[in-house]
Amino acid sequence: MRAMAFDEQGGMRDVLDMFKHWHEFCRATAKGLASTPDDELFVVRQLGLPSSRVLAVVDPDTRHISVLGVGVYPQLRELHRLALHAFRSGIGDVLFPPLTVQLGGVETRFRYAGHASIFAFADTGASPRSKERAVVLAVLPGGFTLAAIQHKRALVIAQGRLNEIAGLDLDRMSIWDKLPVADYEVARLPSSDWMYVPATFSQRGQAGRLQQKSRGIPATEDPARLEATLGAALQASIIEEIPIGTRGRRELSDFLVDVARLAVQGEPDITGSAREIAVRLGKALGRPPRSTRSTNTSLALLVEHSEKRKGEALVSRLTPHRWAIHLRELVDEDGTVRGSLFSRWSALHAVLVGEHEPASESEVTRSRIRGGLGGAVVKKRNEIPYMFDCGMVDEYNLRRQRESEMMQLRVRHAEELRVLAEELAQARQQRDQAIAENAQRAAQVAETDGRLDRLQHRFAAEFQRVTKLAAQAGILERNKAVVRALQEAVDRRDWPAVEALLAPGFVQHDPTDNRAPVDRAGFMNRLLLDAEQNPATQEHVDFLVAEEDLVAVHLHHARSSTSMRLFRMTGGQITEAWGGDLACSGRAANLRSVADTAANEAAVQASSPR
């Protein structure tokens, strides 16, 4: 085996396209993008020749792919109708099992991809990744190509026909050991694991086929498959020809399933009346018999169908009240479905005998001449159907050429797209990081704003308290200034100033002489009398103490004696006074008692309501 460069053969250039499409499909799958609609059921793909197609069905849940057949349009249309009946009746997976290969010691199903030339890939149970091993089935200009891919290396396993791919034991071929070592290289699998099967006598003029050694038991030996095939064939060939709305058409479907089951079990032909046949069918199948009316209607419809199909009678009428079901006509002695039953159903017959081959050039030419629909009348070259068909082929070839050019451009700019994708991912990461940082900063700003609001509330409360204290301090200082001004006016003998500082309701208390309190006039008379008796007496203020509306003053005389007086203030004027005459002092021994007595009287008057 020798690794081949891409430019040595045209097929290798096709494998290069498969490389690119596989990597694109893996990237799209990793991003969660659906490559095909989820409701897609039947898939038609071109195979090599312009008018040759392959028909496959996709399981809507698992997306496993089953290949139904390959051929020109008329065959695929008939096979499509048969597949609809099979999947509606729930036997589609038995009649058309998913395409599988032996991989990793287990039977691995192919999963439909539907991405460019990638038709399917071996389902490993996980999303495909381009750097991991994968078995890929691609549709290339030369037909189907099965290849083992690991990142930038590929091994071509089989090309051409789908019947060469189904059931391959890839483990025996050691495909992973035969991958080329270098990147961007393609190797072909050696032919030691294959054998050439020549054409049989009935296939004279046809080429043989390449087949893997030890293909296993034929599918027709499976009873479940045989029963499903026979049931689908009977329904597709009989019920489809009975008009919708015909009485008993719905019950006929279940009746044919029972007939197919009895034929596979090897039961002999059944004869008798409608009631006897219903009892025998129920006994053979292990269930209660059908109603006589339903059985009689189904038998009548089958007889009517047999009269239209001469030589293909499933049910015959012996007498007006006796019937015969020919079970032996359905299955041959070797346990296979009798081929004559499907002579009118070419597509199913092709699947059963393995003749679903790509169409030949002559078949394509005949299909074109017949207008692309398999008609029996040969069209002339100047008629519209032929010209329309040729025009569609030319348009298809032009579109295929443009797709090839687009693929070359895609390959040329793949690296630029990868760099742009990385830059875009980096920009998105930076954007997400910036968003996270902005959110963190916004949280910090919100926290700072909250702290600032709390500080502002505290500042307002403290400012209000300080303002209140300042106002109180101002009042106290004003009261002290009034007392100081009173003492200075007395020392100056400024009697108008003294009288202005005294409130109209001023009262003088003098507990030292035990005399009754005097009012403002009496107080002024005492000041005038004391000034005349002691003209040189002076008193100096040592300190003042203010509390609420009271001011205490400490005085000393020129003869080094001291005294204390207490004043009550109201509205910036003196309303009450305690402590004896302002100018007479010399009784230092009585100073403490005078001050205590004055303080007690002030406290009592302050507590009593005024």
pLDDT-above-70 percentage for the chain: 70
* Maximum pairwise Cα distance, the chain: 173
Backbone angles phi, psi at 154, to 5 degrees: -145, 150
The residues facing 71 across adjacent strands are 53
The confidence score (pLDDT) of residue 429 equals 92
Beta bridge partners of 323: 272, 317
The C-alpha atoms of residue 330 and residue 335 are separated, in whole angstroms, by: 10
**Average pLDDT estimate for 552-579:** 83
Q: Report the pLDDT value the prediction gives residue 40, as an integer from 0 to 100.
A: 63
pLDDT digits (tens, 9 = 90+) for 491-505: 888 888 888 889 988
**Could you report the per-residue pLDDT of 187-231, keeping only the tens digit for each?**
887 655 555 455 554 554 444 444 544 433 333 456 776 777 777
CA distances from 269 to 265, 287, 316, 324, 328 (A): 12, 19, 11, 7, 6
Q: Do residues 271 and 324 lie in contact, with contact meaning Cβ atoms separated by under 8 Å? A: yes
User: Distances from the Cα of 431 to the Cαs of 32, 165, 435, 445, 446, in angstroms?
Assistant: 22, 49, 6, 21, 22
More confident: 86 or 23 = 23
Fold of 474-607: Nuclear Transport Factor 2; Chain: A, (3.10.450)
Closest CA to 285 of 260, 305, 315, 308: 260
Backbone angles phi, psi at 371, to 5 degrees: 90, 10
pLDDT at 116 over 60: yes
pTM (2 decimals)?
Answer: 0.47
Could you report the per-residue pLDDT of 28-56, keeping only the tens digit for each? 888 776 555 555 678 888 776 666 788 88
12: Cβ contacts below 8 Å, ≥ 6 apart: 4, 5, 6, 186
* CATH 3.10.450.50 in the chain, residue ranges: 474-607
Q: How confident is the model at residue 447 (pLDDT cuts 50, 70, 90)?
A: very high
Dihedral sign (CA 127, 130, 135, 140): positive
Task: Evaluate whether 63 touches 111 at the Cβ level (below 8 Å).
Answer: yes
pLDDT band at 445 (very low <50, low <70, confident <90, very high): very high
CA angle 263, 266, 271 (to 5 degrees): 65
Question: Looking at residue 13, what is its pLDDT?
Answer: 76
Say if residue 384 is exposed, middle or buried (CB neighbours under 10 Å; 0-12, 13-18, 19+): exposed
Instruction: Identify the burial level of 469 via C-beta atoms within 10 angstroms of its C-beta, where 0-12 means exposed, 13-18 middle and 19 or more buried.
Output: exposed
- Quote the DSSP letter at residue 219: G
What single DSSP character describes residue 476? H
**Cβ atoms 354, 220 nearer than 8 A:** no
**pLDDT at residue 533, as a whole number:** 84
Highest mean pLDDT among 9-18, 188-197, 336-345, 426-435: 426-435
- Of residues 559 and 5, more confidently modeled: 559
Whether residue 425 has pLDDT greater than 60: yes
269-324 confidence digits (pLDDT tens): 899 999 999 999 999 888 899 999 999 999 998 888 877 766 567 888 889 889 99
Cβ neighbours of residue 213 closer than 8 Å, sequence gap 6 or more: 193, 194, 195
Phi then psi for residue 321, to 5 deg, are -120, 10
Instruction: Give per-residue pLDDT as tens, 485-543.
Output: 888 888 888 888 888 889 988 998 875 556 678 888 888 888 888 888 887 777 788 88
Q: Coil, strand or helix: which one is 477? A: helix
Q: What is the pLDDT of residue 33?
A: 67
The SS3 assignment for 170 reads helix
CA torsion sign, 520 to 522 to 526 to 532?
A: positive
Query: Would you state the pLDDT for residue 528?
Result: 87
